[in-house]
Homo-oligomer: A and B are copies of this chain.
Amino acid sequence: MKVPADTKASTTCDECPIRYRAVCARCEADELSRLEEIKFYRSFEPGQPIVWGGDRMDFVASVVSGVATLTQTLEDGRTQMVGLLLPSDFLGRPGRDRAAYDAVAISRVVLCCFRRKPFDDMMTAMPHLSQRLLEMTLDELDAAREWMLLLGRKTAREKIASFIAIVARREASLQESKPGGQMTIELPLTREAMADYLGLTLETVSRQISALKREGVIELQGKRGVLLPDFERLVGESGDDSDGGWIA
Residues of B within 8 A of A100 (CB): 142, 145, 247
Q: A95-B135, A133-B134 are in contact. List 18 more A-B contacts (CB 8 A).
A: A72-B145, A72-B146, A72-B148, A72-B149, A74-B149, A74-B153, A75-B241, A76-B239, A82-B148, A100-B247, A127-B130, A130-B134, A137-B138, A141-B141, A144-B145, A144-B148, A147-B148, A148-B148
| Binary interface encoding of chain A residues 64-82 relative to chain B, with 1 for a CB under 8 A from any of its CBs, else 0 | 0000001010111011101
A83 within 8 A of B: yes
> Would B145 and A82 count as touching, CB distance under 8 A?
yes
Residues on A facing B (Cβ under 8 Å): 54, 70, 72, 74-76, 78-80, 82-83, 93, 95-96, 100-101, 123-124, 127, 130-131, 133-135, 137-138, 140-142, 144-149, 151-154, 198-199, 239-241, 246-248
A100-B142, A246-B54 given; A152·B149 CB < 8 A: no
Residues of B within 8 A of A146 (CB): 72
22 contacts between A and B (CB under 8 A): A74-B240, A75-B241, A78-B153, A79-B153, A80-B149, A80-B153, A82-B148, A100-B142, A100-B247, A123-B131, A127-B127, A130-B134, A133-B134, A134-B137, A140-B141, A141-B144, A144-B148, A147-B148, A148-B148, A148-B151, A151-B199, A152-B198
Count copies of this chain in the complex.
Answer: 2
Chain B's closest residue to A238 (CB) is B74
Nearest 10 pairs of A and B residues by beta carbon: A152-B199, A151-B151, A82-B145, A144-B144, A75-B241, A80-B152, A78-B153, A151-B152, A80-B149, A134-B134
- Bound Cα distance A48, B190 (Å): 45
Min Cβ gap A46→B in Å is 24
Residues of B within 8 A of A101 (CB): 145
A72-B145, A130-B134, A144-B145 given; A96·B151 CB < 8 A: no
